[in-house]
């Protein structure tokens, strides 16, 4: 791709990141914490449509976590989990499986961080985070995905 | 929604902590957090929290900023304390409510874990309160540099981080405009439980994307027209240089970590 095309790709990624941060920050009370349903996690289905969402979600997550105030561990590992999930989603072709990686990867990574920080049994923290992610990714992400599928042109 | 638009935590100022180089602050933060995890005793943890409070005072952070910053973790703190108090057993029974007891081990372990969590959040706050998001981004870019070797597009990521930061307030405003536009056409964002409210946001996300992507096209075109080349070496208006005090702070945090490890505090 030429310079203009690549530039467009990166700026779109920046906008996706900004939207992720906006959604997380403006719904702060339920976005952070043990029982978290982060509405913005619904956006993790976006790499299914557009590869620009991969760096975009990562950057958005870094910004959201800096503002979130759960500490540096969350900023580093939470964002890397989102990046890994975004990479996985971009490689999945089945729309019903697309919301799965963010559920599994975030539940494991964030769950283990919480286990490490709070000292609760790991299987409990993983289940907690996983439950919140199922709500966000399947409850909101999948409808968003199905909604966008008929409107793919909007994401060009 | 509008109530929560206090973008980031940055508190302008000119204290010693404000003037430190962001890279050194980030590195010192990382070392301090390692130290927090190495702490074994309640006394050590109390000393660490005191040091943090002292540093917040040096940075002239008003007390309410600290409280506001701690608010997001308050639920976790309360929840954690409850779990520890009622489910961790050992030591003297401090409280007996029928079959339920609160025992000493539960209280001490619960308080320790919660103190560490608050320490983690306070330490991070100390950095985010005294560093502009932009210098934080430059700092992060510096630490990501080595990953260029594994073909991670570090400068591009730093560039989009800066742009995303710049557009957060714009898109926040945009989302409120869209909300009002949809409310005037009969959309409902207010009623129902949290879950319903969350689901009602989906129709909002799509127009937000459309408008954000339109801005993206314009911005990309403008950057291209002004000769922005991806992969070109870039220079900065304000180059950050490490000074003597940056090194002092870094060495100080390393010293804390070493003392904690050696003295088993």
The CA distance from B163 to the nearest CA of chain A, in Å, is: 6
Alpha-carbon distance of B61 to B53, in angstroms, equals: 10
Q: Which of residues 7-26 of A touch B (CB under 8 A)?
A: 7-8, 10-19, 21-23, 25-26
Q: State pLDDT tens for residues B83-97.
A: 898 888 888 888 888
Q: Which residues of A73-97 are buried (b: 16+ CB within 10 A; e: fewer)?
A: bbbbbbbebbbbbbbbbbebeeeee
Lowest mean pLDDT among A31-40, A61-70, B154-163: A31-40
Alpha-carbon distance of A37 to A134, in angstroms, equals: 9
Q: State pLDDT tens for residues B58-85.
A: 999 998 888 888 877 888 889 889 989 8
CB atoms < 10 A from the CB of B242, how many? 12
pLDDT above 50 (res B3): no
Q: Which of residues 30-69 of A touch B (CB under 8 A)?
A: 30, 32-35, 37, 39, 42-43, 55-56, 58-60, 62-63, 66-69
Mean pLDDT confidence for A57-66: 89
pLDDT above 90 (res B25): yes
Q: Mean of the per-residue pLDDT values for chain A?
A: 86
Contact criterion met (CB below 8 Å) for A24 and A64: yes
Mean pLDDT confidence for B220-244: 85
pTM over 0.90: no
DSSP collapsed to 3 states, A87-122: HHHHCCCCCCCCCHHHHHHHHHHHHHHHHHHHCCCH
**pLDDT > 90: percent of chain B:** 40
Lowest mean pLDDT among A47-61, B212-226, B228-242: B228-242
Is pLDDT larger for residue B135 or for residue A11?
A11
Predicted confidence at residue B197, as pLDDT, reads 72
Predicted confidence at residue A35, as pLDDT, reads 58
Q: State pLDDT tens for residues B199-213.
A: 777 778 888 888 999
Tell me the chain A residues in contact with residue B1 when contact means C-beta distances shorter than 8 Å.
Answer: 26
Predicted confidence at residue B231, as pLDDT, reads 81
Predicted confidence at residue B4, as pLDDT, reads 37
- Vertex B97, ends B93 and B100: CA angle to 5°? 70
CA dihedral defined by B26, B27, B32, B38, rounded to 10 degrees?
Answer: 130
Alpha-carbon distance of B175 to B208, in angstroms, equals: 6
At A104, is the pLDDT very low, low, confident or very high (cuts 50, 70, 90)?
very high
Question: A33, B72: Cβ pair inside 8 Å?
Answer: yes
Q: State pLDDT tens for residues A15-58.
A: 999 999 988 877 665 555 555 667 788 899 999 998 999 999 99
Nearest to A47 by CA among A81, A75, A84: A84
A136 DSSP assignment: I
Structure tokens at B178: 């869209």
What does residue B221 show for φ and ψ, rounded to 5 degrees? -65, -45
At B152, is the pLDDT very low, low, confident or very high (cuts 50, 70, 90)?
confident
Mean pLDDT confidence for B174-179: 89
Nearest to B87 by CA among A112, A137, A120, A150: A120
Predicted confidence at residue B5, as pLDDT, reads 37
The range of the structural domain enclosing residue B22 comes to: 2-263
Q: Mean of the per-residue pLDDT values for chain B?
A: 86
The CA distance from A100 to the nearest CA of chain B, in Å, is: 19
Question: B5, A39: Cβ pair inside 8 Å?
Answer: no
Lowest mean pLDDT among B110-119, B166-175, B227-236: B227-236
Predicted confidence at residue A156, as pLDDT, reads 66
Number of domains within chain B: 1
ipTM at complex level: 0.87
């Amino acid at each position: 791709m030429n310079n203009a095309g690549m530039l467009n790709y990166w700026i779109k990624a920046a906008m996706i990141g900004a939207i992720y941060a906006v959604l997380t920050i403006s719904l702060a009370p339920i976005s952070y914490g043990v029982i978290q349903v982060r509405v913005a996690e619904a956006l993790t289905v976006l790499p299914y449509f557009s590869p620009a969402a991969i760096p975009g979600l990562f950057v958005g997550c870094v910004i959201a976590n800096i503002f979130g105030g759960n500490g540096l561990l969350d900023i580093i590992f939470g964002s890397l989990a989102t990046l890994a999930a975004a990479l996985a989603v971009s490689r999945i072709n089945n729309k019903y499986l697309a919301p799965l990686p963010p559920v599994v990867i975030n539940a494991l990574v964030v769950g283990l961080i919480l286990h490490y920080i709070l000292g609760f049994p790991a299987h409990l923290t993983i289940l907690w985070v996983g439950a919140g992610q199922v709500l966000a990714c399947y409850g909101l992400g999948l409808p968003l995905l199905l909604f966008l599928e008929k409107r793919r042109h909007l994401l060009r | 929604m509008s109530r929560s638009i206090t973008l980031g935590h940055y508190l302008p100022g000119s204290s010693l902590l404000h003037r430190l180089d962001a890279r050194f602050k980030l590195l010192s933060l990382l070392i301090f957090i390692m130290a927090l995890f190495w702490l074994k005793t309640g006394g050590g943890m109390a000393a660490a929290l005191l040091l943090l409070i002292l540093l917040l005072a040096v940075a002239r952070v008003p007390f309410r900023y600290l409280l506001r910053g701690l608010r997001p973790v308050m639920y976790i703190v309360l929840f954690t304390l409850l779990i520890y108090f009622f489910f961790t057993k050992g030591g003297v029974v401090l409280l007996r409510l029928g079959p339920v007891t609160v025992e000493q081990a539960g209280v001490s372990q619960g308080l320790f874990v919660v103190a560490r969590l608050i320490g983690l959040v306070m330490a991070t706050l100390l950095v985010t309160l005294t560093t502009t998001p932009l210098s934080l981004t430059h700092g992060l870019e510096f630490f990501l540099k080595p990953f260029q070797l594994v073909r991670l597009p570090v400068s591009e990521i730093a560039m989009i981080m800066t742009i995303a930061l710049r557009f957060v307030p714009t898109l926040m405003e945009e989302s409120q405009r869209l909300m009002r536009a949809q409310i005037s056409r009969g959309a409902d964002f207010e009623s129902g439980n949290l879950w319903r409210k969350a689901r009602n946001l989906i129709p909002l996300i799509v127009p937000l994307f459309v408008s954000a992507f339109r801005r993206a096209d314009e911005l990309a075109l403008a950057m291209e027209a002004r000769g922005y080349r991806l992969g070109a070496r870039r220079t900065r208006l304000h180059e950050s240089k490490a000074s003597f005090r940056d090194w002092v702070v870094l060495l100080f945090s390393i010293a804390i970590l070493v003392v904690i490890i050696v003295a088993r505090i």
